[in-house]
Amino acid sequence: MKIKGTQLFIKALVAEGVDTLFAYPGGMAIDLFDALYGEKSFRVVLPRHEQGLVHAADGYARATGKTGVCLVTSGPGATNLVTGIATANFDSVPLVCFTGQVPTNLIGNDAFQEVDIVGICRSICKYAVTVRRREDLGRIIKEAFYIARTGKPGPVLVDFPKDIQQELGSDEYPSEVSIRGYKPSSGVHMGQLKKAAEMLANAKRPLFLAGGGVNVSRANAEMTRLAEVLNVPVVTTIMGKGALPTDHPLYIGNMGMHGNVAANTAVTECDLLFSIGTRFNDRITGKISEFAKGAKIIHIDIDAASISRNIVVDVPIVADAKEAIVKFSEIAKVPARTGDWVERLQNLKAEHPIRMASSGALLTPQDVIEGINRNFSEAIVTTDVGQNQMWTTQFLQLRGKSRLITSGGLGTMGFGLPSAVGAKLGCPDLPVVSVSGDGGFQMNEQELATAVCEELPIVICVLNNSYLGNVRQWQEMFYGGRYSCTCLEKRRSCGDWCSHPSAKCPPYIPDFVKLAESYGIEGIRVTERGQIDSAFEQAKKNTKAPTLIEFVIEREANILPMVPGGNALSDMITEYGKEKK
């Protein structure tokens, strides 16, 4: 039977098991939307901006482990995806993004709403392709899903011209894929694993470093068991947080630029660093020449290109984290004496907890994140980028089904709210909490409407310090307090640039509580520690709608400890300015 390209598109999504489609219509996608009309096989969600759309698909994918699917129109619809595609690419999130395109005979004509989106996205996605012939459509969609979710997952873009959408052709959707240039690695090199087992057995101060790969391959239980059996302590990158429950005695903490003292000391002092699923980027390593200087390094990663790229390793192992951990568990030998080492790190952790100084009744971000810990035994927590993200990664407890969803690689502002929308759509039975700063929240605040229309009871936390806080912190610490363009209260009438807030500062805009009310939802402003729990309790009562909680926090709170860029991990700033005890 001959069917239209649009009909094959729907058939393909059904065959791929898609249950949620994030879609925003437009001229070059209108035929696809017509085919979606009345479709009952999956849910079609209409965000309010394509950037919010792709972050929502990303949050959905990270929360569920399934592939997030986007559909937008050509031109601006497509270019609005760019930041979200790069975000997903950096953090290995499987997405398939369909973009409408002008008819093939107009491509290259500078037609209305025509852009070369494949060209634009080539370097920020796993694969990008234009469908040029109707007969290729089924194969291309099949390949797109396959490429997105296998190997190191990532975003795939399928550019879909309007004439191909309309053209009649085969109704067949292939069940098999064979791509000669794409063979995702499978299996583990047992010889290398044995070498690793030998080194681990002889190590005195072994340490696991778990990166995002452990979470991506959902190897958390296996990772925990392995650490327990071997009695080897674990530190994580931000993306690896949750590899072990955060209250596990073998979990030492996050390492890196804003890691805790014990975790960074562990990396510096270990004699064997067994790292899984991290690419050792600059926020992780600090000064490369000082990184784990006395240690042998084992590195498991699914991406051969991530191995020995930044850090030269002794035993490279190209494999999926979960598969490698399972296989390694079968042959691993318990190292003889790690008891003292574990104890030392546990003591260090107890002696140097991350604790934010508080001045009086003013809220600290720590209070807020600990409020989340108290009020939600399990939750998916999403963040923006910046201070809100770092504080969340420092203080958030992850246990059970809890999961942290954060833009680790690209560091995208405006990610928190839309990714929470997607996470809740994918995991309706888990509480979903987003944490944003006042700056990042405003980058995609229009997605409040999506949360309302989809009746999603997410809890939206805005940490308001009226600053683009992370940059402000750097300006305070390294640029002489010159707060250039980081104060969100500054108005023309303020006159000169300033370097400190004062009583004369203009009121903050927008009024987040009123903003929430304009969307018909409850907005709560919390200014004191004592109000935190009641705000969360109130939010939990709203079971069909989101709740926005604005936490007015101390304006110039800093993230500490901090390893300034280019310093060795051992060279941490633990006290600074007013935070000095």
Partner 1 sequence: MDQLKKRWISLYVENDVGVLAKISGLFSGKSYNLLSLTVGETEDPTVSRMTISLRGDDKTFEQIKKQLNRSVEVIKVLDFTDLPIHKKEILFIKMHSLKKEEIEEIFRSAKVFGVNVCDYDKNALILESLKTESENDDVLRYYKKYFSTRMEAVRGGSVAIESVSRSER
Residues that bind partner 1 (CB under 8 A): 118-119, 122-123, 126-128, 130, 132, 147, 179-182, 303-305, 308-309
Kindly tell me which of 126 and 142 has the beta carbon lying closer to partner 1: 126
From first CA to last CA, the distance across the chain in angstroms is 76
Kindly tell me which of 41 and 105 has the beta carbon lying closer to partner 1: 105
Q: How far apart are CA 573 and CA 567, in angstroms?
A: 10
Q: How far apart are CA 145 and CA 154, in angstroms?
A: 10
Residue 74 CB neighbour total at 10 angstroms: 25
Q: How far is the CB of 413 from partner 1 (least distance, A)?
A: 23
Kindly tell me which of 284 and 462 has the beta carbon lying closer to partner 1: 284
Q: How far is the CB of 180 from partner 1 (least distance, A)?
A: 5
Q: How far is the CB of 6 from partner 1 (least distance, A)?
A: 23
Q: How far apart are CA 120 and CA 115, in angstroms?
A: 8
Q: How far is the CB of 565 from partner 1 (least distance, A)?
A: 20
* In contact, 2 and 171? CB cutoff 8 Å: yes
Kindly tell me which of 63 and 315 has the beta carbon lying closer to partner 1: 315
Kindly tell me which of 182 and 508 has the beta carbon lying closer to partner 1: 182
Q: Which of 458, 441, 448 is nearest to 508 (CA)?
A: 441
Kindly tell me which of 150 and 402 has the beta carbon lying closer to partner 1: 150
Kindly tell me which of 151 and 418 has the beta carbon lying closer to partner 1: 151
Kindly tell me which of 152 and 472 has the beta carbon lying closer to partner 1: 152
Distances (CA, A) of 372 to 241, 244, 402, 545: 16, 19, 12, 18
Q: Which of 398, 389, 469, 399 is nearest to 434 (CA)?
A: 389
Q: How far is the CB of 253 from partner 1 (least distance, A)?
A: 31
Q: How far is the CB of 313 from partner 1 (least distance, A)?
A: 12
Q: How far is the CB of 561 from partner 1 (least distance, A)?
A: 31
Q: How far apart are CA 376 and CA 389, in angstroms?
A: 18
Q: How far is the CB of 78 from partner 1 (least distance, A)?
A: 16
Kindly tell me which of 181 and 339 has the beta carbon lying closer to partner 1: 181
Q: Whats the size of the chain, residue-wise?
A: 581
122 Cβ contact list (under 8 Å, min separation 6): 128
Kindly tell me which of 126 and 149 has the beta carbon lying closer to partner 1: 126
Residue ranges in 26-81 assigned as alpha helix (H): 30-36, 50-64, 76-79
Say whether 210 sits in a helix, a strand or coil: strand
Q: Which of 94, 96, 97 is nearest to 66 (CA)?
A: 94
Kindly tell me which of 123 and 359 has the beta carbon lying closer to partner 1: 123
Which amino acid, one-letter code, is at 214? V
* In contact, 114 and 155? CB cutoff 8 Å: no
**DSSP structure string for 384-430:** -SSHHHHHHHHH----TT-EEE---SS--TT-HHHHHHHHHHH-TTS
Supply 249's token pair. 């005695």
Q: How far is the CB of 155 from partner 1 (least distance, A)?
A: 12
Q: How far is the CB of 272 from partner 1 (least distance, A)?
A: 23
Q: How far is the CB of 123 from partner 1 (least distance, A)?
A: 5
Beta strands in 18-130 (DSSP E): 20-23, 43-45, 68-72, 95-101, 127-130
Kindly tell me which of 157 and 188 has the beta carbon lying closer to partner 1: 157
Say whether 289 sits in a helix, a strand or coil: helix
Q: How far is the CB of 4 from partner 1 (least distance, A)?
A: 24
Residue 104, CB half-sphere, CA atoms under 13 Å: how many?
Answer: 11
